[in-house]
Amino acid sequence: MRAVGLLLLSLITSPAGSASADIAVMSSGKILYIERFERADEQITLFLEGGGEVTIPAELVTNIVPNEIVEDTGQAPQEIGLLPHLGDLIAPAAAKYALDPNLVAAVIWAESSGDPKAVSTKGAKGLMQLMPGTARDMGVSDVLDPSQNVDGGSLYLRQMLDRHDGVLSLALAAYNAGSEAVRKYGSIPPFKETQNYVAKVMRAYERAREMDE
């Protein structure tokens, strides 16, 4: 409760951020100026500009936007596409594997909120949360290198789409739980984590596409 109270206070009293700050866009539509953030499993820690930090469910944050992009474009943070600062990493990988860049961005958002150093309790690492075995299979030598991670994760996503006849919900379920689980059940496996994951990516993908129109 204390953490939530601190967050609400910050949303009310946080001054305009510096050009080097990041902006966390909250699900409420409000914004929070932060120095940096860290994602760990389903929690995100926001390090507030001016001091202090707060750890909240990652689902309460809908985007991270560098303040310099806001200043350069003149757009409100809530109107800027998903993870705009990662566009130069996402675009080539998406083109290479015939994926919608918005889909790649949505998977990155669900997996790591754009934290390139994210490491899960299960051992998944980086922007697209690759497990060590998957990283090796995708030819990734340095899983925490953002470019390699996004390339490898995009290749894996492409493979999951191809294996499941282009059905996005099944491909996302396979990305999370593995192809064998999807084949076993013939649909999205009845695992709460996987069902929530598919819904989370689909929501982020829909938002990303709306912003891109």
Any bridge partners for residue 92, and if so which?
none
198's enclosing H/E stretch is helix 192-212
Angstrom distance (rounded) from CA 109 to CA 209? 14
Q: How far apart are CA 35 and CA 37, in angstroms?
A: 7
Q: Is-contact 25 31, C-beta < 8 A?
A: yes
Tens of pLDDT, residue by residue, the chain (213 residues): 445 544 544 444 455 566 679 999 999 999 999 999 999 999 999 999 999 999 999 999 999 999 999 999 999 999 999 999 999 999 999 999 999 999 999 999 999 999 999 999 999 999 999 999 999 999 999 999 999 999 999 999 999 999 999 999 999 999 999 999 999 999 999 999 999 999 999 999 999 999 887
β-strand partners of 55: 45
Supply the pLDDT for residue 1. Answer: 41
pLDDT score recorded for residue 16: 58
Angle of helix 146-163 versus helix 101-112 axis, rounded to 10? 110
Model confidence pTM above 0.95? no
| DSSP helix/strand/coil, 103 | helix
Among 53, 71, 111, 193, the active-site one is 111
* pLDDT the model gives residue 20: 77
Token readout for 155 is 């290749």
Predicted pLDDT of residue 154:
98
Task: Please list the alpha-helical segments (H only) found in 65-186.
Answer: 67-73, 87-96, 101-112, 132-137, 146-163, 168-177, 179-185
pLDDT confidence of residue 93: 98
Q: What sign does the CA torsion over 179, 182, 183, 187 have?
A: negative
Q: Which of 124, 115, 111 is nearest to 86 (CA)?
A: 115
CATH of span 2-79: 2.30.30.100
Q: Is 79 a catalytic residue?
A: no
**Domain 2-79 shares a fold with domain 84-212:** no
Q: Where in the chain are the domains?
A: 2-79, 84-212
In this structure, which CATH number among 1.10.530.10, 3.40.50.720, 3.40.140.10, 1.20.1250.20 belongs to the domain 84-212? 1.10.530.10
